[in-house]
Amino acid sequence: MNDKRFFDTNILFYAYDTSDPGKQSTAEGLIRQAAADASGVISTQVLGEFFHATVTRKAVLNAQEAAQAIRALAGLQVVEIDLRLVHAAIAYHRQYQLRYWDALVLAAAKRAACVELLTEDFNDGQHYDGVRSASSAV
């Protein structure tokens, strides 16, 4: 099995945003590969943010299309947010001076034993408690 990779909202968004075909193609390929080899991880937070970003903030999908897109992500492992994860996020917020929502993504990635976090919200190549940020993936 490949090393696990956590997908932040922006990577999922790019897979459905037609305004940048290069990013769209790359994001689609990353997600497809992660689903195929069972290395992809997301969280319930990311799913909620994806729905909001695609339907409300940028309106690249309607609600039905976004729901279908979320169902299509069934090949990825989903980390659920619970009280222990909230406490871990608060600790990461304090330790790394991250925004709370970014710290919650990091906590979910760490819980799922991901070695890499695909996001544009962290410094590329920086390590956070054993999870490496890859902001240049897309």
pLDDT of residue 32: 96
CATH class of 5-134: alpha beta
Please state, as a whole number, how many other Cβ atoms lie within 10 Å of the Cβ of residue 79.
23
> How far does Cα 109 stand from its chain's mean position?
9
**pLDDT tens for each residue of 70-121:** 999 999 999 999 999 999 999 999 999 999 999 999 999 999 999 999 999 9
Q: Which residues contact 120 (CB under 8 A, 6 or more apart)?
A: 8, 10, 135, 138
Longest dimension (CA), the chain: 39
pLDDT of residue 2: 76
pLDDT of residue 1: 53
Please state, as a whole number, how many other Cβ atoms lie within 10 Å of the Cβ of residue 45.
20
State yes or no: pLDDT of 137 exceeds 90.
Answer: no
Q: What mean pLDDT value characterizes the chain?
A: 96
pTM for this predicted structure? 0.95
pLDDT of residue 116: 97
How many whole angstroms separate alpha carbon 112 and alpha carbon 42? Answer: 9
How many whole angstroms separate alpha carbon 138 and alpha carbon 129? Answer: 23
How many whole angstroms separate alpha carbon 101 and alpha carbon 60? Answer: 23
Domain range summary for the chain, segments of one domain joined by +: 5-134
CA 49 → CA 7, 8, 79, distances in Å? 12, 9, 14
